[in-house]
Amino acid sequence: MIVSNHDANAVLNRVQVVPISSNVRTLYPAEAYVSVQGRRRKAMADQIATVSVLRLRRRKAQLSTGDIEAVERVVRLQLGL
């Protein structure tokens, strides 16, 4: 999931992302369950990364408002905000 702001994304060749995993067996404090194409996944805010836009192929899915709020909560937790 891309978490960097739209203004920066428009001019930079890199973005900040929260990786999403299909391994949902264990959920740690800085992780949140999300639904991607009807399947349970987890967003891992403890692994925020900066990646080149060249690595992004295409949009895989749009998260629901509830899922976005859950990711925002764990990002804030991870960053101590």
Burial 34-62 (b: 16+ CB within 10 A, else e): bebeeeebbbbbeebeeeeeeeeeeeeee
pLDDT, residue 39, reads 94
Name residues of the chain where pLDDT drops below 50: none
| pTM, full prediction | 0.84
Q: Which amino acid is at 48?
A: I
CATH topology of domain 6-79: SH3 type barrels. (2.30.30)
How far does CA 42 lie from the centroid of its chain? 9
pLDDT, residue 55, reads 84
Q: Spell out the domain ranges in the chain.
A: 6-79
Name the 3-class secondary structure at 72.
helix
Type and span of the H or E element at 47: none
